């Protein structure tokens, strides 16, 4: 593969910066911080895990509803980047606001977390849409996968700094509380995210677009209706989205609930942070390997490999008892979480009309986000009913099995003919 272009590198390095939110806020430090605040307020471990799951379901539902509408409007010339910057700003500002939530206010903490997550995931919808603007079909698998790989590497740096601050505070070496140390981690997240968004903002342009008209909002809704009609005409696109709905549900749930799950089975915050750091390091090369293997075999084949790994994760997770078990589970997840997400994105990008990329990524977002509603709800409900967090993870196995079965009916991406014309203007 030829050297990456300036635009491709700028696009990929946004992942280097923004993935810090996924690690520190979604997966690692914030959930542990939240669990501590909830425990201090008298909330049981199973209940606080369930409330976090319900919160994730709420903000994903909101974004799923907004995604297609905003995506349709953003397909107009010059609007994609404006929407991207707006959502990114919401995410960074709300993450900064987490610092000022009073101790013990676990409900307010979840509300601000919801706004921050809306900003982060919303920005990613438009970020994904920029993939068609920075590269071509032949390079998409590796560009998308390398973006995830850089994300893991880049987010590991502020994560290490944050872990060091928290551990030094816990040991009394730094004259600050663990709460203050966690808040410093939130501040680091904001700064890192903002700095590495600059290359994309400066160097990436919207190449594929729909020309603006005099009534953009009204016309956007008309185009959205047309998109719904045309999605049905794209046979393999529809089948893939249904398959994606199921398997990405399990992936997202395991990622977002991992630290809360680890806490409930008795792992200390220190062990969890170290495991998650190593997970980041291991996930980076595996994401890139998935991209290279997809070019040799196919993205579809590697997606199936990733799904099989996650089925093993669900089975093993049910029997998890010790820190060593959690380490094994984390390494299994690390081997496939980036690859399965990256190749899903690139496979989908090859199926859609490029001028309508944001419209279609809006629907991609709907399926991904609605999937993220059912998984946490299922896990949270099961945890509350059984009183055991690990009982919920086994139920996720059905999502991966269904996804794999449906994925069987889509062609290898090596045989795909990508649409190049816009649906409507």
What is the per-residue DSSP string for 341-408? Answer: HHHHHHHHHHHS-GGGHHHHHHHHHHHHHHHHHHHHHHHHHHHHHHS-THHHHHHTHHHHHHHHHHHT
Query: What CA–CA distance (Å, rounded) separates 223 from 393?
Result: 40
Q: Residue 325's pLDDT is what? A: 81
pLDDT of residue 97: 95
- pLDDT tens digits for 347-380? 988 887 776 666 677 677 667 666 566 777 776 6
Q: At what angle do helices 216-233 and 45-74 cross, to 10 degrees?
A: 110
Answer whether residue 98 shows pLDDT above 90.
yes
Q: What is the mean pLDDT of the chain?
A: 81
Parse the chain into domains and list their residue ranges. Answer: 6-202+217-410
pLDDT at position 214: 59
- Level-2 CATH architecture, domain 6-202+217-410: Up-down Bundle (1.20)
Q: Is the pLDDT of residue 204 over 80?
A: yes
Q: What is the pLDDT of residue 194?
A: 95
pLDDT tens digits, one per residue of 250-309: 887 776 666 666 666 677 777 777 887 788 788 888 988 998 899 888 889 999 999 999
18's tokens: 């923004």
Give the least confident one: 27-31, 173-177, 208-212, 249-253: 208-212
* pLDDT, tens digit, 9 for 90 and up, residues 5-34: 999 999 999 999 999 998 889 877 888 888
């Amino acid at each position: 593969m030829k050297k990456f272009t300036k635009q491709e590198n700028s696009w990929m390095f946004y992942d280097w910066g923004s993935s810090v939110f996924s690690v520190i806020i979604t997966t690692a430090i914030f959930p542990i911080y939240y669990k501590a605040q909830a425990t201090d307020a008298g909330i049981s471990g199973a209940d606080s895990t369930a409330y976090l799951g319900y919160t994730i379901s709420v903000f994903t539902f909101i974004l799923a509803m907004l995604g297609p509408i905003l995506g349709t409007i953003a397909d107009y010339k010059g609007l994609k980047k404006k929407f991207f910057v707006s959502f990114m700003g919401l995410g960074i500002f709300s993450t900064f606001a987490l610092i000022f939530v009073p101790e013990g206010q676990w409900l307010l903490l979840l509300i601000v977390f919801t706004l921050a997550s809306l900003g982060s995931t919303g920005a990613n919808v438009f970020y994904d849409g920029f993939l068609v603007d920075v590269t071509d079909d032949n390079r998409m698998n590796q560009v998308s996968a390398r973006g995830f790989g850089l994300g893991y590497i880049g987010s590991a740096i502020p994560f290490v700094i944050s872990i060091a601050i928290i551990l030094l505070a816990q040991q009394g070496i730094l004259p600050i509380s663990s709460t203050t140390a966690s808040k410093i981690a939130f501040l680091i997240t904001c700064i890192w995210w903002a700095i590495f968004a600059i290359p994309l903002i400066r160097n990436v342009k919207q190449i594929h677009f729909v020309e603006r008209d005099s009534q953009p909002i009204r016309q956007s809704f008309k185009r959205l209706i047309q998109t719904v009609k045309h999605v049905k005409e794209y046979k393999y696109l529809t089948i893939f989205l249904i398959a994606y709905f199921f398997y990405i549900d399990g992936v997202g749930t395991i990622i977002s609930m991992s630290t809360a799950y680890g806490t409930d089975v008795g792992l200390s915050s220190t062990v969890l942070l170290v495991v998650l750091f190593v997970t980041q390091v291991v996930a980076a090369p595996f994401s890139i390997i998935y991209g290279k293997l997809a070019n040799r075999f196919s993205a579809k084949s590697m997606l199936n490999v990733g799904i099989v790994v996650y089925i093993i994760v669900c089975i093993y997770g049910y029997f998890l008892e010790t820190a060593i078990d959690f380490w094994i589970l984390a390494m299994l997840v690390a081997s496939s979480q980036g690859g399965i997400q990256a190749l899903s994105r690139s496979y989908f990008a090859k199926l859609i009309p490029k001028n309508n990329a944001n419209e279609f990524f809006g629907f991609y977002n709907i399926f991904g986000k609605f999937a993220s509603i059912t998984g946490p709800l299922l896990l949270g409900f099961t945890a509350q009913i059984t009183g055991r967090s690990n009982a919920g993870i086994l139920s996720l196995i059905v999502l991966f099995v269904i996804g794999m079965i449906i994925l069987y009916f889509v062609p290898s991406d090596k045989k795909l003919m990508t649409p190049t014309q816009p649906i409507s203007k």
